Amino acid sequence: MPTYIQKSQAEGENILHEADIAWPYHVISWLALIFLGILIIGIVIFVRMQIWLHTTEFGLTDRKIIYKVGFFSRETHEIPLTSLDEVTIEQGFWGWLFGYGQLRLWGSGRGELCSPPVMNPILIRQKMSDARAEIIRPEMPTEHGSTSKGSRRQYRLRSHIPAHIAQNH
């Protein structure tokens, strides 16, 4: 295919030289494509994560654990505290360092539920255990007519968190 220079020649005119564009401009254009591609991918990842962050909820009431993901298409899970069998914490190095982790919950007849990464997973597990103890062993009358809470230690949820991690929180 003839170039513009070749097409714009007059009759009997000869081309003495067609210059090449300097190679750094080729390199810069490819680098721009690569970095902008990475930037676009980064923007897509950022937007998806922000949507997930703003449409994900994980909470504990005095009766159940609630987990919701999604906005237009929702996925919800609820585990009554009375059917909660076991809670484990998964916390890698960065989670341990910054105080976050995931809770894995097992409920009777419900299988496993994995929480989103949450701050203070050890505290959340403790609150789950305390709330469950309140349901299982409600206030009991004492000899003086007042009420007292039964011992909760025997109702603690089983935990698989290593002792050295639990001591650091």
- Is 38 domain-assigned? no
Q: Distance between CA atoms of 4 and 22, rounded to whole angstroms?
A: 19
**pLDDT tens across 60-113, in order?**
999 999 999 998 889 999 999 999 999 999 999 999 999 999 999 998 877 889
In a domain, 40, yes or no: no
Q: Is residue 155 part of a domain?
A: yes
Total tally of structural domains belonging to the chain: 1
Is residue 42 one of the residues assigned to a domain? no
Could you tell me the pTM of the whole model? 0.62
Mean pLDDT of the chain: 84
Q: What is the pLDDT of residue 160?
A: 52
**Residue 124 Ramachandran class (φ > 0 left, ψ -120 to 50 alpha, else beta):** alpha
Whether 76 maps to a domain, the answer reads: yes
Domain membership of residue 88 as a residue range = 54-138+148-167
Whether 110 is in a domain gets the answer yes
Q: Binning pLDDT at 50, 70 and 90, where does residue 154 land?
A: very low
| Domain contains 1 | no
Beta strand spans in the chain (E): 56-60, 64-69, 75-80, 84-90, 100-107, 111-114, 118-119, 140-141, 147-148
Q: The domain that contains 104 carries what CATH number?
A: 2.30.29
The answer as to whether 121 is a domain residue is: yes
pLDDT tens-place string over residues 142-152: 565 555 554 44
